[in-house]
Amino acid sequence: MQQALVHVALVVKDYDEAIDFYVNKLNFELIEDTYQTEQDKRWVVVSPPGSQGATLLLAKASKPEQEQVVGQQTAGRVFLFLSTDDFWRDYHRMVAEGITFVREPAEQDYGTVAVFEDLYGNLWDLLEFNDEHPMAKRM
């Protein structure tokens, strides 16, 4: 059996500002941006550079209850984990792009990590796994 996690939906306020942030600030690739007439919405998919894993589906809030969770999909916990092959390269580039880090870089048993906010306040880990960590072999 083979299965894969394909998309993670991220509720956003606006498609274009979210695309701008993920593509121009985080260096993600815009995989798809298709208008769906039957639902009057866009299907917007972005992915970290070089990733073969799950993508983000940028889903615009269309109801008041969805608007309330923009930036708070996990109630203040770290929501997404962005793994890199070079922590310091990406950290310095992100700082130069104006990305806000709410926890400074730290060495942990599993690797190097820092926590940053996306444009809506969702928390992300930027991390580079140590070579012996099981996830390092999946990169």
Whether residue 138 is predicted with pLDDT greater than 80 in this model: the reply is no
Whole-model pTM: value is 0.92
Is the same domain home to 42 and 76?
A: no
Q: Are residues 83 and 111 in the same domain?
A: yes
Q: What is the pLDDT of residues 81-99, one digit of tens each?
A: 999 999 999 999 999 999 9
DSSP count for the chain of H helices, then E strands: 3, 8
pLDDT at residue 136 in the model: 80
Q: What is the mean pLDDT of residues 53-63?
A: 95
- The strands making up 123-129's β-sheet, listed across from edge to edge, are 78-83, 123-129, 111-117, 101-108
Q: Do 57 and 102 belong together in one domain?
A: no
Q: Are residues 24 and 72 in contact, defined by beta-carbon separation less than 8 angstroms?
A: no
User: Would residue 74 be called left, alpha or beta, if left means φ above 0 and alpha means ψ between -120 and 50 degrees?
Assistant: alpha
The average confidence (pLDDT) of the chain is 95
pLDDT, tens only, 92-127: 999 999 999 999 999 999 999 999 999 999 999 999
Closest listed residue to residue 71, CA positions, set 127, 3, 11, 14: 11
Confidence tier at 139 by pLDDT (50, 70, 90): low
Range of the domain at 49: 1-70
Total count of domains within the chain: 2
Statement to judge: residues 45 and 104 lie in one domain: no
pLDDT single digits (tens) 31-47: 999 999 999 999 999 99
- Could you tell me if 78 and 123 are in contact, meaning their C-beta atoms sit under 8 angstroms apart? yes
Alpha-carbon distances of 91 from 10, 52, 64, rounded to whole Å? 22, 21, 35
Q: Is the pLDDT higher at 73 or at 136?
A: 73
Instruction: Name the domain boundary from 70, 103, 124.
Output: 70
Distance of alpha carbon 43 from alpha carbon 90, whole angstroms: 28
